[in-house]
Amino acid sequence: MPESSIEARVAALLTEHNLQLGIAESCTGGLMGHRLTDVPGCSRFFRGGIVAYSYEIKETLLSVAHQTLLQYGAVSAEVAVQMAIGARQVFHSDYGLSITGIAGPGGGMPGKPVGLTYIALAFDGGTVWQKHIWHGTRAENKNQSVEAALQFLLDTILTGEGALHVGV
Amino acid sequence: MPESSIEARVAALLTEHNLQLGIAESCTGGLMGHRLTDVPGCSRFFRGGIVAYSYEIKETLLSVAHQTLLQYGAVSAEVAVQMAIGARQVFHSDYGLSITGIAGPGGGMPGKPVGLTYIALAFDGGTVWQKHIWHGTRAENKNQSVEAALQFLLDTILTGEGALHVGV
């Protein structure tokens, strides 16, 4: 892991400011936690993660509302935001960061193509989210989602302007 | 991901027998979930995972007993077994698979060297666990832990003889 990796920059920033992070992942399956824990000493800022691969787990562990899942689907801004809020609550962390998407190659549907991914961040001041559509392989889409989520966290902390949409 | 990868073999075996898996990770930080979800269609067997990086999260999300953590430490057979049982319960899965260890380079202590790792598997018939001591880098130790855990799952399902210790 090069020192300039995005996970190293996240680690340095959060540690410097004594901030704690909890995460919730769906399509990335644990990759974001893996990347964050490649940083030695990550327990100073990383409290843990939940990989929620079903409606039921999103509801029971992350308090995503059943009605939201039914109304908007698991891959939606609304669910990403609730996952981020849930992660922040479960892990009693300053930030809750979530990813939900369709990594492919299957799973696409009308209006929700393969590669569609939502990222959300919850913090004391509210929630912000981003939408992406990746066009890579399953592995590439997972990687791009994690890179984007960690960059979103960095941007939001550093500038407060990293969001495409605020206050969902 | 080659078809012969261990995660592909786990996926094929669990899917064939309609078995569900839930996981709990500590030192591997999400790598096991990441590897399992590299397999397209993994939602047929993979229900989710919990990355528990603190005593508190092991207790609140995985029902590991506070006394067990104090008595044996987070990196112990006893905690690995309780994490596996907790994962199986949380995810309502046939199997609960856990990893707890010291990935390094720091974190070693008397009697608990860097690389010490416990793997546990909980299922309807009981619990089994394994102890390993890796000697690689942090990244290598994480990889070896995941490979060993998935092999342990395969061996236990296929032969029932994959365990070094049974019924902790």
Domain boundaries, chain B: 6-166
Q: What does the pLDDT look like over A75-94, one tens digit per residue?
A: 999 999 999 999 999 999 99
pLDDT of residue B165: 53
A142/B46 touch (CB, cutoff 8 Å), yes or no:
no
B42/A29 touch (CB, cutoff 8 Å), yes or no:
yes
How far is A106 from A129, CA to CA, in rounded Å? 24
Helix, strand and coil in chain A, % to nearest 5? 40, 25, 35
**Confidence tier at A138 by pLDDT (50, 70, 90):** very high
CA dihedral B93, B1, A99, B79 (to 10 degrees): 40
Cβ atoms within 10 A of the Cβ of A32, count?
31
Residue ranges of chain B whose pLDDT lies below 50: 166-168
B33/A51 touch (CB, cutoff 8 Å), yes or no:
yes
Name the A residues in 39-98 with CB < 8 Å from any B CB.
Answer: 40-43, 46-54, 56-57, 60-61, 90-92
CA B91 to chain centre: 14
Residue closest to B75 by CA, chosen among B61, B95, B62, B58: B58
pLDDT of residue A166: 46
Residue from the list B32, B43, B104 with its beta carbon closest to the beta carbon of A53:
B43
Share of residues in chain B with pLDDT > 70 (%): 93
pLDDT of residue B125: 86
Q: Which residues pair with B50 in a beta bridge?
A: A50, B24
Residue from the list B43, B51, B57 with its beta carbon closest to the beta carbon of A30:
B51
pLDDT of residue A95: 97
- Pick from A27, A28, A51 the residue to mutate for testing the B interface (most B CBs within 10 Å): A51
Q: Kindly give the residue spans of alpha helices, DSSP state H, lying in A66-117.
A: 66-72, 77-90
Contact A1, B139 (CB under 8 A): yes
pTM of the model: 0.94
The mean predicted confidence, pLDDT, of chain A is 93
pLDDT of residue B168: 39
Tokens of A96: 């809750």
**Confidence tier at A38 by pLDDT (50, 70, 90):** very high
CATH of range B6-166; options 3.40.50.620, 3.90.1300.10, 3.90.226.10, 3.90.950.20: 3.90.950.20
Residue from the list A30, A53, A92 with its beta carbon closest to the beta carbon of B34:
A30
Instruction: Estimate the crossing angle of helix B77-90 against helix B55-62, to 10 degrees.
Output: 40
pLDDT of residue B167: 42
Name the A residues in 141-160 with CB < 8 Å from any B CB.
Answer: 142
pLDDT of residue A167: 42
Share of residues in chain B with pLDDT > 90 (%): 88
The mean predicted confidence, pLDDT, of chain B is 93
A34/B34 touch (CB, cutoff 8 Å), yes or no:
yes
Residue from the list B30, B54, B106 with its beta carbon closest to the beta carbon of A37:
B30
Residues of B in contact with A138 (CB under 8 A): 38, 40
